[in-house]
Each structure stands twice: as structure tokens, then as C-alpha cells.
Amino acid sequence: MYFDLVLLAYLTYKNGMRAKLKAQNAVLWSVITLVCVTVTYFIGFVFVAMVFCAKNVNMQQLSSVDVKTKQAIAQQIVQAFSDNPLHLITVELFGLGGYLLIRYILNRRPDKKEPEVHWMDKINDPMA
């Protein structure tokens, strides 16, 4: 759990610094990264629960109104995730994919434009 938070903070910081280098709003891109990674974590969790844990968990019972049945299914999902650590790694990789998506979008943005200096201005400059 703590690893996830540290990783999320680090990835958010990295994209914020990348945005600053591209002359973009670093806070905005950090928030976008945070939201995207969180959403892809959730998508990864649902994907793993529906595809890989379908044998161990009866998902059809989720439509019932009974709270005890839903708690039992939650316990089954927790048990399925704790039995196989590859399920958690898969969810982590989904989150990493969210970070990489935002990083790709930031890399496609143009770099900060440096002021152009004409070569004639360099001739008369004693510091050049």
C-alpha cells in the first residue's frame, strides 16, 4: 500500500517536471497524471477481478441487494488477490500504463522556445 503511494507521488512529480520543461502548467499536469493513474488502477483492478478471478469469485451475486452477500464476495476477491501476487502486479502495470500515457502526451508537446539570436547580433557583442 505504501509502495503504491510513493510510486504515485514519484510518477506525478516526474510528469510535473516534464511539463515544466515543456513550458506547461506543472500542477495541472501533475493532477492529470494523478487522475489518470488512479483511473487505470481501477480499470486494472476490475479487469483482473473479472478475468483472472472469475473462477474463484461468483460475480453474478453482486447484483443482489443483500449486504452480507456483497461482503462475502469482497472477501472472495481479497482472498483471490492475496493468493496470487501476479494479480497485484498486473494492477500496478495498469497504473504504470496511465503514467506512460500522460508522459507520451507531454512528450508530444513542443519544447519551450528559446529566444533566437541573429548571427549579426553576435558580431558586435564583446561577450560572445
Query: pLDDT 10s digit of each residue in the chain, 128 long?
Result: 688 899 899 999 999 999 999 889 999 999 999 999 999 999 998 888 888 877 776 666 666 667 777 787 778 788 888 888 888 889 999 999 999 999 999 999 888 777 777 666 666 666 65
> What sign has the CA pseudo-torsion 82, 87, 92, 94?
negative
Global pTM? Answer: 0.76
**How many domains is the chain partitioned into structurally?**
1
Angle at 106 between CA 105 and CA 108, to 5 degrees: 70
Residue 25's CB is within 10 A of a number of other CB atoms, namely 12
**Contact by Cβ (8 Å): 26, 19:** yes
Angle at 97 between CA 53 and CA 70, to 5 degrees: 30
Domain membership of residue 78 (yes or no) is no
- The whole domain housing 32 covers 2-54+86-109
Q: What pLDDT shows up at residue 64?
A: 67
Give the Cα separation of 62 and 73 in Å (integer). 7
Domain membership of residue 93 (yes or no) is yes
